[in-house]
Structures are given as structure tokens and as C-alpha cells.
A and B are shown apart, each in its own frame.
Chain A
Amino acid sequence: MTDAILEVRNLSTHFFTDDGEVKAVRDVSFSIAPGETVGIVGESGCGKSVTAMSVMGLVGRPGKVVGGEIMFRGRDLLKLSKEEFRNIRGRDIAMIFQDPLSSMNPVLRVGYQIDEAMYAHDKIPRDQVERRAIDLLAQVRVSDAARRIRQFPHQFSGGMRQRAMIAMGLSNKPDLLIADEPTTALDVTVQAQILELLRDLNEQTGAAIILITHNLGVVAGLCKRVLVMYAGEIVEEGTVEQIFESPQHPYTWSLLRSVPRIDARRGHRLLSIEGLPPDLIDLPQGCKFNPRCPFRVERCFNESPPIEQVAPAQYAACWVTMERAYAEMGAGDIIDTSPGAASGVHPAGRTLPAAEVPAALAEPVGD
């Protein structure tokens, strides 16, 4: 894709902590087309936020981008000077955060903060700034914008604050808006309104949106394309229909079956992904999902699967893929979701003599 506005190639971001090197993002590549809405889904610690922070140039000590390129409209952001980066950040790429209260200055009026974002970049003619701030607030559906603009953040409700943050983000007509869990702190009714707002703004302004979230439902409603991250890597990528209807990575597949759905028949049991995500300092050999995967095979323990095309526009990093899991391992009627539960698995995966368990367990955790 040469017409992409953002192209991330082999991005790796690590954190150098007292306990060791946390490999938070490893070899992540993706691209965003103009006006596109892309969701990055994953659980906490999967690297989705660190990816966004890397793109924004906001990774601070002890973190460091250790490799890769972030091409924004043909220029590598990682090679820019601080000054040049600052000119792009907030002007061409804007970001909105999970907690609008802590990302706004409590002692400055909301209007002033929106104005400031515009003055900082000189993209909007100075005489239009104040008028535009009111228009923006109205555009994000804050009623009585002309009065509201003179209020302080604490006088806004949570939903209103997030709207004001979005107005601030949009003030310089960015080409790309990165929304990091923008609705997580909000009630569902407010969440729905914010998502609808983002959808409308995408259509009206043509700004591409990267939505970072752990909530699969939110992605299904807003995004056209989805990246699924696990343990610092992209494990699957595809259109929203592909990801939700024919996921090929066992993690995506399991995740979709582990959340209760409001429209589901009652009485069915949730599929749970047993175990925990891996320690990012001490990663497992082979596929990073293998310790929790019901469909793992011998190869998964040793070799890390590359992300490969599995269907038009769909990519997955898996040696098995769900297509094979359905055909050969009976994934359709699987109930037991413990690692290696499906038939045709690595033989050492399941059976461990019961008598050995305490000794084996006591060992890796001993002081």
C-alpha cells in the first residue's frame, strides 16, 4: 500500500526496567489508509497502547523504540528532530486518551485549552481560532457551546470532557486520530454516544481513526479493519467481518467466545482462555500463545509463526489456523478449552502425571 498515510514497519519498543528488558512491542507492521477506521484489539499488556505511544513519539524512559520505521506521509517519524515531531504531533496526528480528566488542565478554561491547541500549530488562522473552538464543541454535540467554552473541566461530566478532548484533537484538522480506550472510563450509554460521534466525525472530516480498545463490541461498531495483538505482536489482521466471522488465529477465536453477548441464548458456558498472558521479560519459545492454546501442535513449541496471508486481506500468525482446527481437530464442538485440549495435539501438552505436579509446581516458584 503506497497510498497509506501511516505505515509502521517492524516497530519494536522495549522498556528497560530494574527487573529486565520488557519487550512490550516486537516487530509490529501495519498501515493505515486515508480516512480508514482501524481497531487495535487486545488485553492489557498486549502492546496496543505502547504501539500508539510509539507512533505519537510519546514513549519516555525507561522505554525506547529499539527498531523499525514509522512512515507518516512518506517521512520516517523516528528520524525527525524533536521540533519537527512536535509540529506533526497534535497537528497532523492527534490523540485522545482514556481519562479525559487527567489529560486536561484543571485550572484552565476548556475553551482556552482548545484555542491553545490551535495556536500551537498555526494551521488555523489566528482570527478564526475562537470561533472555531465554539464550532468544534458544537460539532462534538456539546450543547450551549458558547457558554460551555468558558467553563472549567470539572464543570463538565465525564462524557462531556471526552467530547471536549475530541474537539481538541480535531481542532487542527488532523489526518489521523488515535483514540486510546476513549470510552473505557465512561458509562455504556455515554460510550455509545461517543462512538457514534467518532463514526460521524470520520465521515464528515475524513480523518483516519485508530481505535485502541479491549472491547470487541466497540470495534465491531466503528472499525472497518481490525488488528489483534497478543503479547506484543500482531497475531491477526483482517476486515471487521473476517475477524468476527471467520477468525483464523486461535486467540482471536477464543477471545470472541469468551465474552458474554447480550444477544446470546442463555445457559451456554463461556469459553475461557486458561492461564495468563506471558511475561514480557521472559517470553516462551515458539508461538507466544502456545501455553494457552487449545489447538497447539508440536511445531508451536519451538518455532514462532510468521504472520501470513490466510484469505484476501486477512493475515494470521499461526501454524494451525482455525480452518484446520475445525477440519481436523473438531474445534466446532470443543468444550474443554484447556491448553492442547483439541485432538491432534502435541502429546506432551496434556498429560502430566498427577504425582509429579506438586514437585514440578513448587520448583519454578521457589525462592
Chain B
Amino acid sequence: MTDTIVAPTAQVTPTVEPLLRVVNVVKHFGAGGGASVKAVDGVSFAIMPGETVGLVGESGCGKSTLGRLITQLIPVSSGEVYLDGVDITKLRGEKLRQQRKQLQMIFQDPYASLDPRMTVGDIIAEPLVNFAMIKGRAKDVRVQELLRTVGLNPYFNNRYPHEFSGGQRQRIGIARALALNPKLIICDEPVSALDVSIQAQIINLLEDLQREFELTYLFIAHDLSVVRHISNRVMVMYLGRICEIAPSEDLYTSQEHPYTRALLSSIPVPDPRIESKRRLVELSGEIPSPLNPPSGCRFHTRCPIAQVPGVCADVEPQLELKGDGHLAACHFSEQVRTKIAIVN
């Protein structure tokens, strides 16, 4: 296993403690016959207060599992998750429940994440009721205030979720996440189920709320353009591990991991002139099964610059500092930009 790398804290003012520190978190799901799916396999990072950190990766890379491990919706196999200095993986029962006040989640599917039998007011008030924080008239006032905060008509509090559009439902989910004044919100693909024009509304809302309530976000999505837009830093995940962490400004110009570069080359840009020059980094083969990830660097089976046989197939690269706040797990990161062309 890796040693605990929490380097990102180094580049910010050292006196500020990270709000969230994830240390070597592992989640293995049993897959029958003694085999296990290594969904998240040794992930470490930190999030500073007020920051937005993006987490991207393709389906099956473990990004959603990681989000649920942090919120303790599923227990970790090993590793620690420190929220404000407290290791929440060691908490059980009531203590864990109390911790949820700090840590809320926005879900991907605005149709599935709201209980269809509850009114919008009850949905938003649920966290408040669960912690017996507020009752009666004060509760209604708070619910209406939250509805107004997320841009919805406060008089809709006694309506049912199915009466709302996808974007409006996602606003309801956001209001619910805000109800407890959490410090950290995990956004799990909050806009990917929405239409293009509605995505912008929700992204702007999340940005406004962050400013207003000094929120910290972990923003999980498969769309690198969206993630880069909203995040200060972006983490790229491949097959259960983080392969690169980069400040968003750097990401488009300098990539230190071949997978990030390939990912970037795949993203279509709404500009025909750029599109005609864009060159796709073709990855050979398919994503290997997380049941049996490749030896050494997990990406070596598809990497255009891997040395196989050689160090890439034998030694698992660790996240190392490659630039200012820029980490990558690659043996040949200096060759990424020279050897892999993404423009014709």
C-alpha cells in the first residue's frame, strides 16, 4: 500500500487545517468465490475549507463509491477519513449520525433521490427533524427560506416531487443538503442527469451558494469540462486510484499523467475550428476489470508511452509532486506532453 500522501496541504498556508483528509482509503466489495472488486484501492487527498475539489473519471473508476465512503453511507474496508480532525470511520451509531450534520450530499438522479410520497416541505425539513433542531412554525419558515435560497417559489412547499422538472428537483435536493448548514457537501454528479440549459442554472446556483455560505465542495462528475469549470483543483481517477491532482488552471495546458491527457483529448469542444484540429489519443483495449487490476501502473495496459516490459508493468507509481500543487502518479510524467500529441 501507499504511504499517506497529503501533499496538497503543503502548498496552501500550512497553518490552515484541511476540512477533509482522506488517508489511504480502500473499499473492496466481495464478488463471490473469494474474489473481490477493488472499487477504491488506496486513495489519499485533502480538501481545504472553502475549496471546491473535482473528482473525474469514467464509469466504474470508483468515484461514486469514494463519495459514499466519505459520507460513511458505505463503510470503508480500511483507511481513515478525517472531517475537521475527527476520524469518522471510527464512529458508530449515534456519534456517526451526529457527524452527518457537517457533511451532506447532493445526488445524481433528481428523480430517484426525492421520496415520491413526501411533500417538498417535508423532504427539505427531514434533516432538521432528524436532529430535532426545529419544529412547527419555525420549521415552515426555515423551509420557505431554503426554497427561496435555491431559487424556488416558497409557496411550493406542500407540493410533491413529481410535479417539478428535473432542474427544480435538483434544487430541492440542494435545499435539503443546505438545511443543516453543513461544512462540506459531496456533489455526486449533480448535473449529469439534467438538460444542457438547466445544467448552467444549477452550476451557477452551486457557485452562488458556496460564496454565500462558505461551503466546501467535493464535486464528482464524469464530465471534465463541468468539473474543471467549478473546481479549484481536479483529481482524476482511474480504476480505483487517483492518477493526477492538478489545479484547474493547469489542467488544460499541462497534464502530467497520460490518462488525463487522453481524457482531455476525447472531450469535444463546441467549436468546429478547434474540433478539426483536435487529435484523439486512442487508448488501446478496454478498461481492465477491477476484479483483477493490472500489475504495476494500472494504466500500463492502455498507455501510449508505457515501458512494457519494464518499470510500468512492475512498479506501482505513487502520487508525486510534479509542479506547484500538481501531483501525478506516473513514472514518465515528463514525457506526457512531448510524446503524446493532442493537436494535429
- Return B59 CB to nearest CB of chain A, in Å: 6
Q: Is A104 an interface residue (CB 8 A)?
A: no
Q: Is B207 an interface residue (CB 8 A)?
A: yes
Give every chain B residue within 8 A of A44 (Cβ-Cβ). Answer: 195
Q: How far is the CA of A217 from the CA of B271 in the complex (A)?
A: 7
Query: Scoring A residues 270 to 293 as 1 if CB is less than 8 Å from chain B, else 0, what string do you get?
Result: 111110110000000000000000
Give every chain A residue within 8 A of B222 (Cβ-Cβ). Answer: 187-188
Of the candidates A188, A244, A254, A255, the one whose C-beta lies within 8 Å of that of B58 is A188
- Is A260 touching B228 in the complex (CB atoms < 8 A)? yes
User: Contacts A43-B196, A244-B271, A259-B270 given: A196-B280 contact, CB under 8 Å?
Assistant: yes
Give every chain A residue within 8 A of B88 (Cβ-Cβ). Answer: none
User: Contacts A266-B248, A269-B207 given: A220-B270 contact, CB under 8 Å?
Assistant: yes
Give every chain A residue within 8 A of B229 (Cβ-Cβ). Answer: 260, 264, 266, 270
User: Contacts A266-B228, A266-B249 given: A192-B268 contact, CB under 8 Å?
Assistant: yes
Of the candidates A188, A221, A260, the one whose C-beta lies within 8 Å of that of B263 is A188
Q: Is A218 an interface residue (CB 8 A)?
A: yes
Residue of A nearest to B253 (CB): A263
Of the candidates A256, A269, A361, the one whose C-beta lies within 8 Å of that of B155 is A361
B269-292: which have CB < 8 Å to A? Answer: 269-275, 278, 280, 282-283, 286
Q: Is B200 an interface residue (CB 8 A)?
A: yes
Q: How far is the CA of A214 from the CA of B263 in the complex (A)?
A: 20
User: Contacts A259-B196, A262-B252, A272-B197 given: A216-B270 contact, CB under 8 Å?
Assistant: yes
User: Contacts A361-B153, A361-B155 given: A215-B268 contact, CB under 8 Å?
Assistant: yes
Number of residue pairs A-B, CB distance < 8 angstroms:
131
Q: How far is the CA of A245 from the CA of B273 in the complex (A)?
A: 10
User: Contacts A214-B196, A217-B269 given: A272-B204 contact, CB under 8 Å?
Assistant: yes
Most A CB atoms within 10 A — which of B195, B200, B225, B269?
B200
- Is A255 touching B197 in the complex (CB atoms < 8 A)? yes
- Is B269 touching A262 in the complex (CB atoms < 8 A)? yes
Q: Is B267 an interface residue (CB 8 A)?
A: yes
User: Contacts A261-B225, A270-B229 given: A191-B266 contact, CB under 8 Å?
Assistant: yes
- Return B244 CB to nearest CB of chain A, in Å: 15
Give every chain B residue within 8 A of A240 (Cβ-Cβ). Answer: 272
Query: Scoring B residues 190 to 234 as 1 if CB is less than 8 Å from chain A, else 0, what string do you get?
Result: 000001111111011001000000000000001111101110000
- Return B302 CB to nearest CB of chain A, in Å: 9
Residue of B nearest to A251 (CB): B197
Q: Is B77 an interface residue (CB 8 A)?
A: no
Give every chain B residue within 8 A of A216 (Cβ-Cβ). Answer: 196, 270
Of the candidates B263, B272, B282, the one whose C-beta lies within 8 Å of that of A193 is B282
A223-242: which have CB < 8 Å to B? Answer: 240-241
Q: Is A362 an interface residue (CB 8 A)?
A: yes
- Is A254 touching B197 in the complex (CB atoms < 8 A)? yes
- Is B59 touching A261 in the complex (CB atoms < 8 A)? no
A178-225: which have CB < 8 Å to B? Answer: 187-189, 191-193, 195-196, 214-221
Most B CB atoms within 10 A — which of A195, A258, A269, A358?
A258
Residue of B nearest to A292 (CB): B197
Q: Is A157 an interface residue (CB 8 A)?
A: yes
- Is A214 touching B199 in the complex (CB atoms < 8 A)? no
Give every chain A residue within 8 A of B228 (Cβ-Cβ). Answer: 260, 262, 266
Most B CB atoms within 10 A — which of A157, A217, A255?
A217
Of the candidates B59, B198, B207, B266, the one whose C-beta lies within 8 Å of that of A192 is B266
Give every chain B residue within 8 A of A220 (Cβ-Cβ). Answer: 268-272, 274-275
- Is A192 touching B280 in the complex (CB atoms < 8 A)? yes
- Return A272 CB to nearest CB of chain B, in Å: 4
- Is B265 touching A259 in the complex (CB atoms < 8 A)? no
Most B CB atoms within 10 A — which of A244, A256, A260?
A260
Query: Scoring A residues 297 to 309 as 1 if CB is less than 8 Å from chain B, else 0, what string do you get?
Result: 0000000000000
Residue of A nearest to B285 (CB): A143
Q: Is B48 an interface residue (CB 8 A)?
A: no
- Is A43 touching B266 in the complex (CB atoms < 8 A)? no
User: Contacts A187-B222, A272-B204 given: A258-B272 contact, CB under 8 Å?
Assistant: no
Q: How far is the CA of A254 from the CA of B223 in the complex (A)?
A: 20
Q: Is B262 an interface residue (CB 8 A)?
A: yes
Give every chain B residue within 8 A of A221 (Cβ-Cβ). Answer: 268, 272, 275, 278
- Is B196 touching A258 in the complex (CB atoms < 8 A)? yes
- Is B155 touching A260 in the complex (CB atoms < 8 A)? no
Of the candidates A157, A262, A270, the one whose C-beta lies within 8 Å of that of B267 is A262
Q: How far is the CA of A214 from the CA of B195 in the complex (A)?
A: 8
User: Contacts A260-B225, A262-B225 given: A273-B197 contact, CB under 8 Å?
Assistant: yes
Of the candidates B197, B201, B223, the one whose C-beta lies within 8 Å of that of A43 is B197
- Return B265 CB to nearest CB of chain A, in Å: 7
- Return A238 CB to nearest CB of chain B, in Å: 11
Residue of A nearest to B265 (CB): A192
Q: How far is the CA of A193 from the CA of B225 in the complex (A)?
A: 18
Q: How far is the CA of A22 from the CA of B204 in the complex (A)?
A: 31
Q: How far is the CA of A237 from the CA of B146 in the complex (A)?
A: 42
User: Contacts A244-B272, A262-B224 given: A187-B252 contact, CB under 8 Å?
Assistant: no
- Is A272 touching B201 in the complex (CB atoms < 8 A)? yes
Q: How far is the CA of A215 from the CA of B275 in the complex (A)?
A: 13
- Return B108 CB to nearest CB of chain A, in Å: 15
- Is B204 touching A259 in the complex (CB atoms < 8 A)? no
- Is B280 touching A193 in the complex (CB atoms < 8 A)? yes
Known: A44-B195, A196-B280. 10 other contacts (CB 8 A): A43-B196, A191-B266, A217-B275, A255-B197, A258-B199, A259-B196, A260-B226, A277-B195, A362-B155, A365-B159
| 12 pairs, CB–CB < 8 Å, chain A vs chain B | A188-B267, A189-B266, A189-B283, A214-B195, A215-B196, A258-B197, A259-B199, A259-B200, A263-B269, A264-B229, A276-B168, A362-B155
